[in-house]
Chains A and B, each alone.
Chain A
Amino acid sequence: GQQVMQIPQYQHVQEGEDFTTYCNSSTTLSNIQWYKQRPGGHPVFLIQLVKSGEVKKQKRLTFQFGEAKKNSSLHITATQTTDVGTYFCAGPGEYGNKLVFGAGTILRVKS
């Protein structure tokens, strides 16, 4: 079945350092979404990418969708303690009725 892989599983950075998480799908995706889950919280939508090669920015966050629409990345510049949480990528399931989540990358930030 369709799989969405995400690396790294865990990253611990010093405040001010950059952070990147990578997402890879076993199939071509019509879109990819990114969610953030704070510790003890629920997934919250960050962004959706639709076009091949698309790059979107939200303040210190930069999201990319690969040319082949099978991979994506989220880069955070100059991390802050408020960035702490788990970042998930998610793509549509085969029949479009669900989201298939990656395993997530846990980000911890040392101040």
Chain B
Amino acid sequence: EPEVTQTPSHQVTQMGQEVILRCVPISNHLYFYWYRQILGQKVEFLVSFYNNEISEKSEIFDDQFSVERPDGSNFTLKIRSTKLEDSAMYFCASSPRGGGNTEAFFGQGTRLTVV
């Protein structure tokens, strides 16, 4: 069964450093997302991406965040200068159709720890 894959599974970084989280969405999906989950809390939307551009972003997704689809398969989330409060599990997701109207397939997540 096709799945969304994310790397790395765990990243530890120093405050102020840049991190890039990588995702390979399911190959025939057109819509891509990043969500995050602070330990024990709910899943929060960060950004959605379609047709090589951001379709929606949340208040969390400030200038420190960016997304890119550098080639036909990868989808990346960059945090330019990490803060302690960026520590969370980051989930990439993809769907064959738009946004909230169809099933989203989530990757296994990247646990980001900022120290």
A residues bordering B, Cβ < 8 Å? 30-31, 33, 41-45, 48, 88, 90-93, 95-104
Contact = CB atoms under 8 A, between A and B. Distances in A.
A99 B101 CA distance: 8
B103 A98 contact: no
Given A43-B91, A98-B48, 4 more contacts: A42-B107, A97-B98, A99-B35, A101-B43
Contacts of A90: 43, 100
Contact of A101 (B42, B102, B107, B109): B42
B114 interface: no
B99 A93 contact: yes
B75 interface: no
9 contacts: A43-B43, A48-B102, A92-B100, A95-B99, A99-B100, A99-B104, A100-B45, A103-B42, A104-B42
Interface of B: 33, 35, 41-45, 48, 50, 55-56, 58, 91, 98-109
A96 B44 contact: no
Contacts of A33: 100, 103-104
Given A98-B48, A104-B42, A93 B105 contact: no
B43 A91 contact: no
Specify which of B43, B98, B100 lies most central, judged by the most chain A CB atoms within 10 Å of its CB. Answer: B100
B101 A92 contact: yes
B6 to A, nearest CB: 9
A90 B103 CA distance: 10
A73 B31 CA distance: 28
A42 B100 contact: no
